[in-house]
Amino acid sequence: MVQQALGVRAALEASGLDHGPISVHDKMRALGMSPVPAIASLARIFRQQGVARLEPKKKPRAAYRRFVYPAPNACWQLDATEYVLSGGRKCVIFQLVDDHSRLAVASHVSWGETSEGAIAVVSKGIAAHGVPQRLLSDNGAALNPSRRGMLGQLVAYVRSLGVDPITGKPGKPTTQGKNERFHQTLFRFLDKQPLAETLEQLQTQVDAFDVIYNTERPHQGLPGRVTPASAWAATPVVEPPRPLPQPASPVEDEGVRMTRIHDNGTVYARGTKFQVSRTLAGSTAYRVEEDDRLLIFDADGTLLAEYPWPEPGTKYVGSGNPRGPRGPRKIPPVSDRLLACV
């Protein structure tokens, strides 16, 4: 019995999976072994054999107030974590988790923590499991910068589907605790795999982990220590939210207009072309026409350029022309108007 338990523990460890007494107990039962030692007995055996994993003393579970949404798709949690490929280049892994079942809804590997990567993983999750009612994330610029007075691309995307984007309070990391634990479990698995050289190789490894995590690994945070896939199937999925009606374009008297940055990097306003940046050619921007100046914002609400209005008849204003006061400016009324236009 001792050797069987040690063998199961070694196999789990070699696979990069949890291999504590609870995980070994559940795996032995799943394999049909008999008799299966009690969890306390396995802990004692591992200590006696010198293979127990020593961990720092933790706060008792009772010290935390744990909240779980009542059904699948009531809330998803999104977070991103850094990873280093074999050549030393850093990349980012987006992980999306269902709060109720702990199901790994979707994962996406990207070169950076960008709005495009965040939208990609949420779109992937929606295609597989439907639209959630809420999306919980941190306050990062690529995820949900609303607390900074900016409109993020991910926020605009999920709101258009009727999803309520919510964030944890600043300085309260336990709000995204499920994500942090999920990252750790993924890293233990990846540590036992060949080091990926490309994003494609890493994506394949992460996808394989998601399958194991969802269907083979009993989750200690779930009642009855079932798998996330079993927990998902045990409760009906909540009704998807109603998509919001398409917003009207900003009206002129608000002073905010959606515009496109032309191929040569310019924006056209009041008969004049204003040079913004060729690197932004083709992207969507917002122009705010104040009495004395023109302001150009990107889709996140970040000020890109600022120009005093030129003399009547001026056809072109280059980016090197004077733009008024230098340095960062906070313009709450503009941010409020941008948010109101979504």
Rounded to whole angstroms, the Cα distance separating 115 from 97 reads: 18
What are the residue boundaries of the structural domains of the chain, listed by start? 1-49, 76-234, 256-317
pLDDT digits (tens, 9 = 90+) for 217-266: 787 777 777 899 999 999 999 999 988 665 444 444 355 778 888 888 89
Exposed e or buried b per residue across 27-65, where buried means at least 16 C-beta atoms within 10 angstroms of its C-beta: bbeeeeeeebbeeeebbebbeeeeebeeeeeeeeeeeee
3-state secondary structure of 264: coil
pLDDT digits (tens, 9 = 90+) for 197-229: 999 999 999 999 999 999 987 877 777 778 999
Q: How many helices (H) and strands (E) does the chain have?
A: 9, 12
CATH of domain 76-234: 3.30.420.10
pTM listed for this prediction: 0.58
Rounded to whole angstroms, the Cα distance separating 275 from 247 reads: 28
The tokens 């798998």 sit on which residue? Answer: 227
- In this predicted structure, the answer to whether residue 328 has a pLDDT above a threshold of 50 is no
3-state secondary structure of 277: coil
Q: What is the mean pLDDT of residues 63-74?
A: 75
Give the tokens for residue 12: 């789990």
Q: What is the mean pLDDT of residues 150-172?
A: 82
For the ranges 17-26, 187-196, 246-255, 278-287, which has the lowest average pLDDT?
A: 246-255
Chain Cα centroid distance, residue 83: 15
Contact 240, 162 (CB under 8 A): yes
Q: Which residue has the higher pLDDT, 255 or 154?
A: 154
- In this predicted structure, the answer to whether residue 56 has a pLDDT above a threshold of 60 is no
Rounded to whole angstroms, the Cα distance separating 237 from 129 reads: 9
First to last CA, the chain: 63
Exposed e or buried b per residue across 107-131, where buried means at least 16 C-beta atoms within 10 angstroms of its C-beta: bbbbeebbbebbbbbbebbbeebeb
Out of 49-53, 54-58, 59-63, 76-80, the most confident range is 76-80
Q: What is the mean pLDDT of residues 266-295?
A: 86
- In this predicted structure, the answer to whether residue 297 has a pLDDT above a threshold of 60 is yes
The dihedral through the CA atoms of 241, 245, 250, 251 has a sign that is negative
Residue 308: asked if its preceding bond is cis (omega within 30°), the reply is no
- In this predicted structure, the answer to whether residue 148 has a pLDDT above a threshold of 70 is no
3-state secondary structure of 333: helix
Rounded to whole angstroms, the Cα distance separating 299 from 306 reads: 16
